[in-house]
Chains A and B, each alone.
Chain A
Amino acid sequence: MNSPDPGEIFRTEAQELLEQLEQALLDLETAPEDGELISSAFRALHTLKGSGAMFGFDAAARFAHGLENAFDLVRKGKVAASGALIGVALSAKDHLRLLIERPEEASSDESARILANLAKTIGAAGTAETAAATDEGADGATQGETSSATYRIQIRFPEDVMDNGTNPLLLIGELQDLGTCTVSPLTERVPPLDDIKPSACYVGWDVVLTTEKPRSAIEEVFIFVLDDMDLRVEKVEETSKRLGEILVERGDTPPDAVLTALSNQQRLGEILVKDGAASKERVASALAEQRHLTAAAAQAPQKAQPLQDSIKVPAERLDNLMDRVGELVIAQARLREIATASQDLALKVVAEEIERLASELRDNTMGIRMVPIGSLFGRFRRLVRDLSRELGKKVQLFTSGEETELDKTMIERLNDPMIHLIRNCIDHGLERPDVRTQAGKLQEGRVELSAVHSGAQVIISIKDDGKGLDRTRIRARAEEMGYLAPGAKVTDNELFQVIFQPGFSTSREVTNVSGRGVGMDVVKRTIEGLRGAIEINSTEGHGTEITLKLPLTLAIIDGLLVRVGLGRYVIPLSMVEECVELTPEQNLRAKNRNFLSIRGELVPFLRLRDMFNVTADAEPFPKVVIVSAGDLRVGLLVDQVIGDHQTVIKTLTKLHADVETFSGATILGDGSVALILDIDHLIDFGRAQEERLKAS
């Protein structure tokens, strides 16, 4: 295996970082004060700069450096993350992507222009610092690489410190902002109540601070009182220490007093207090330090952990793994068949064990390929933002169910259709702000993306609160284009399906966003290519909801193996509700009306033998497999139900593209091929066939 191109590694990494940056920027638009977001943007830029320089993407690294400096100012609170700044930063991010992905196309003038723009936005104060920081060059890179350290800070103020307007508690508060802090007050100097001067400060503090900031940052906190006070800052090792060691190190207790105390069996702290070798408070403070250090030491390896927890693997290797697992599952099915036919108990045991392992391996492998859909939703935030500006509409995007997992390939292939649907939502669905106000709606339109698991399916919905689909217009256009007979009675869903016809558009104006009637047919084809279905619901004046129903994975499904004539077929188990037997009497009675009564409910059924033109002898006791397709429950009359089958899905070639009743094929244990039924299309086909029979 050849080692991958290092430039490619960087590009992959950069892609993620740029996404992180974009997310942070977009979030900052709504929460400009959020320090965590600012840090996230800053970290992304910092890493981009560092790795860019390391992999020889110098132009990108320099550009990232300029951006990073700007964000450093934001991070330090010197510049606010204004809308204008974020706008520039977003364009800068796009330019940075270009610099990384297609450096030959990026002009250095553009880099300079964006940086100048950025400097202008930040304002005069920022400019000087950005420029100064740029001069530092490589120095800036090393400065950023601080790791955390723990300091012991002993603070003793003079009694009159508050006379000058210094508030010790604010200073302590500033220290706490620097990092993880354990503060222990020392009240031993507090006199009896009668002697207390209310304006005097009697309290001293011991602080243990773990911070990424340099030592100078600690001293900066006390800069105005430093001359009058007693401040000791020492760096301490982040290891668990014994109390005695700490007390001695801090000079609170002479070493021999500790040794004496240690020879006793009592708790050290108590002894030291009793002996008067250390005040109770100082021991308490030292104990607090001990706890802080133990916690810090425990934290350190935990911080390092996430790095080792995940590894990056090229998607191709995962695909290969999935293929191998698929073959294993097929081989295992063969083994099961042999074991079932054999009398050898030992073989049966092994076969069962391998079946269990193969099934677990299959689930695990599929699990590896699962990616939360949030990564897909995230990409659309920028799209919505840009579209809303371009079209002059106010849009807010809501997402839910980001954690819903879906096969990686599926996520990739959903990208384009989703973009198309969201565009339609904003362009056609949502009204202009003034129209919305007139209709009594909020000016700001809503677009909701949601994802949820439902059995072996994932349901993704794209919903807006716009004007909804115009039934009259769609109908008129559909009749005009000949997709619908004039005056024909159709359900809403049937009417809306017309939208997916190639070239269909009711839009009077063609914008450069949508309205050309290109695309919805492509959306439908893509979704069906993923073995999914697409549904539209719309209430006039209240909005439209488009629902995509997709299988969890494209690779392997649980299926029910049935026999029709000599052929064997797989029905996706997720669609199967139950199996019932059709008695000869029922069969006879059902000659002209293919209905069954299942617990009082009328269920139509399709005779697969007729649909597949089977001539082989029929079973005297055929079975009906009840499947659910949408709201519809339909029975499929088969000759025999063989049993469950782990189905490795293989797609059919273009030569069979005209046969829609099958979504794919699979290889059975004996090496023969079985077709996988596409229930929705099968029902359509059955319906069409019945129509033909009625007509003739």
Chain B
Amino acid sequence: MSMNMLKKGDIILLGIIAAAIVISFAVVSTYKRSGKDTDKVAVIKMKDEIIKSIDLSTVSQPQQIEISGKYIQVILVERGRIRFLDADCPDKICVNTAWLSEKGDMAVCIPNSTMIKIEGQSDKVDAVTH
């Protein structure tokens, strides 16, 4: 079986991509570690509009939030964590993402243009706005 062997350019290309992977991982993990660990604000967005900002450390009762756009998505918030619980879209990528609890965690639904992301303490929002 004569396989198409890797050539010199391939090695260089893989080197460049490997460097890009390392750098982008470093940037993401630096962002995740920056700021105080205790401040976690979950931001629920649809397009560029913030639907809700929730300080996850102040959630006492689990609560469900329903978003309806092109599809209907159900979000579950508990103390310290948040997730898309259910969605009626075909691919359910947002549901597969499961729980978000760390700063920088993010669940995205491209077809519905919605996302949940966890930010450090934000100066714009307090407990619950919008």
A binds B: no
What residues of chain A have their CB less than 8 Å away from a CB belonging to chain B? Answer: none
